[in-house]
Amino acid sequence: MKSLRTLLKIAERDLEALRRQMAALIAAQSQIEDRIAGHDQTIAREQALAQQDYESARMFGGYAAASLVRRRAMESERDLLGDEIERLRELINAAHVEARKFERLIELEEERAKRAAEKRENAELDEFATMRAARTRA
């Protein structure tokens, strides 16, 4: 059936689109993790400076509080992306199962066609053998 092959192509296209979308989300999540790591390094440098200078030490408390809010916001964004990645993983699994179903249906159809062709061929050979046997008797 042509329609099964078309449905398989559509399922594979959808699967590939989901995979690309997930790859983009994973890249975005990685960028956020890099930003968090850079943020932590900046805080560590500021903390080291605050330990050396009295004026910096006085201001570090406010900076640390604001930095903590920024870090929590980045972590929240990372977690949201993680949830979206998990949702896409489930969709990819479902799309893969759907594509596999179409592949299996195509395989079954090809097997049926092959058996039907073998059955026709055997019937033709039987008919040929019967006609030959009838000719030899006559």
pLDDT in tens, 66-107: 999 999 999 999 999 999 999 999 999 999 999 999 999 999
Count of domains for the chain: 1
Mean per-residue pLDDT of the chain = 91
119 occurs within a structural domain: no
For residue 138, pLDDT beyond 80: no
Q: What is the pLDDT of residue 62?
A: 86
138 occurs within a structural domain: no
pTM of the model: 0.73
Q: What are phi and psi of 44, to 5 degrees?
A: -65, -40
45 occurs within a structural domain: yes
15 occurs within a structural domain: yes
d(CA 102, CA 124): 33
118 occurs within a structural domain: no
Show the 3-state SS of the chain.
CHHHHHHHHHHHHHHHHHHHHHHHHHHHHHHHHHHHHHHHHHHHHHHHHHHHCHHHHHHHHHHHHHHHHHHHHHHHHHHHHHHHHHHHHHHHHHHHHHHHHHHHHHHHHHHHHHHHHHHHHHHHHHHHHHHHHHHHHC
81 occurs within a structural domain: yes
134 occurs within a structural domain: no
- 18 with 92: CB under 8 angstroms? yes
Chain position carrying tokens 């994973």: 26
Indicate the pLDDT class of residue 31, thresholds 50, 70 and 90. very high
18 occurs within a structural domain: yes
What is the domain range of residue 89? 2-109
Indicate the pLDDT class of residue 54, thresholds 50, 70 and 90. confident
